Amino acid sequence: MIDTTTIQGEEASVASSSTTGTASIGRRYLPHHLLYHNSVPNSPPDSTTLASQRRKDQLIVVARNMESLLEKRASTSAGTNSDEKSLSSLEKRRRLAQLQNAHDDTDADISRDPHAATIKEETTTEVALGMTITASHHHHGTRSRDSPLDTTITVKTCFGAPPSHIENAKTANEEDDDVPGLITDSCHKRQGSSLICKLLFEELQKEEPKSVARAAEKLGSIFKHGNPQECSQAVSLGGHSVLISAMKKWSQHEPIVLHCSHAIFRMIGTYTKRCGGDNDSQNDDDEEDEDRFDLIEGFLVAGALEVLVNALRNFPRSSEVQLFGMGALGNLLGAGMAAALVSDTSRQAAREFVEEHYGVSLLVTIMTRFAHKPKVQEFGCWIVARLARMRRFHGILKREALVAVSTAVQNNPKSATINKQASSFMASIFRLRPASEEQGGRQG
């Protein structure tokens, strides 16, 4: 930590900033020519020179005292900087005040010459452990023992790791960014992801439900209004797994389930420069969908499908949970992706959703319950249109979903998105166009 202490007159202030490194440990005194650069060879020193030299001698004492203190602390730290950090601001203030008192005693017998011009002298001393002492002398007229002297002393110390660790410090930090396990260290080096990191690994881990819900809500807002880079950082930190874990832990807490579902929905959409839920979020020709493969598979491996289905079943009366739960499900099942781009993992998830979780019946129930919620109808049509691309689901979709889709179109005649998805659904189940398995040669 770099500590800068400026003492002027009887006032003292201490300011601290972040660690920047350290210099090697060892004694470095002022060169002889710096100590006596104002003296004239072979001539008797006048009072000005004596006063200036005395001031510099005092600075040497300051430097040596500080150097001795720091060397003692460094020798007991056994290669670490923990002892340097333990030196509190109060101790630094007290020690520097003592040094200032010593200088005040030296200046006690110097008086003022009001008719003289102001002269400024500055001496800079660099000592061990990167400590720099700068003294600025302001005095009036020709310096003499009786002339006034106003002095400002600035002491800058640089506390850091021992020299043996300096060479490898940067390399180690750079390597940490590539190690998945070092989440906390790497995230604090990225200013853009520090908030996301805090929310994921501090706020979401708390035992207070309100704090967890607020963190999930903030993440959803970041992913909605943020940029793809922020979503990418969250994914690289394992944020998708953290969200799923929070939903599992708090499966009966509606606000947490709601905001986590929203965050998952937005994360997948924004990850590919798309805002899921907008009218173009169901675009089948988006060439950037390939970027979603790894993210979607990561969610599915973490158990997102089961968690989202349980969320829809646990809060059947919450239109918001149903809305964002369906939106997240649609993204996971590849509902907004071109048929040729849907991964095998998403296809397998679709089979599990329909055959193991009775997903079509669940969707129809939600669409019927919230028949006058256009967004719910939109996402319902969006998902069944995706499922209709697989021939093995045509029978159950005709039996259970056909009426719900027709009702959605009747209730929302001005919704271009609902009409588009309904048309895609009808074309698939009535074989007005080939199903995706026939196009790609894959069997459902």
* Cβ atoms within 10 Å of 435's Cβ, excluding its own: 21
CA angle 218, 224, 227 (to 5 degrees): 105
d(CA 316, CA 31): 82
Q: Which two tokens stand for residue 300?
A: 């599915």
Cβ atoms of 383 and 330 closer than 8 Å? yes
pLDDT score at 75:
62
pLDDT score at 320:
96
Cβ atoms of 313 and 362 closer than 8 Å? yes
* Cβ atoms within 10 Å of 34's Cβ, excluding its own: 12
Distance (Å) of CA 56 to CA 10, 60, 61, 112, 200 = 20, 6, 9, 21, 55
SS3 (DSSP) at 140: strand
pLDDT score at 47:
66
In the chain, which stretches have pLDDT less than 70? 1-49, 59, 62-63, 66-67, 69-193, 272-292, 338-340, 432-444
List the strands of the sheet with 2-8, edge to edge. Answer: 11-17, 2-8, 149-158, 132-140, 118-126
Beta bridge partners of 17: 2
Cβ atoms of 405 and 381 closer than 8 Å? yes
Instruction: Name the DSSP class of 276.
Output: T
pLDDT score at 259:
97
Q: Which domains does the chain have, with CATH numbers?
A: 2-169 (no CATH), 186-440 (1.25.10.10)
Q: Which pLDDT tens digit goes with each residue over 96-152? A: 666 555 545 544 444 444 444 443 444 443 333 333 444 444 444 444 444 444 444
Residue of 8, 152, 133 whose CA lies nearest to 63: 133
d(CA 360, CA 400): 7
- Rounded to two decimals, the pTM is 0.54
Distance (Å) of CA 281 to CA 8, 211, 226, 285, 289 = 64, 31, 16, 11, 11
Beta bridge partners of 155: 5, 133
pLDDT score at 280:
40
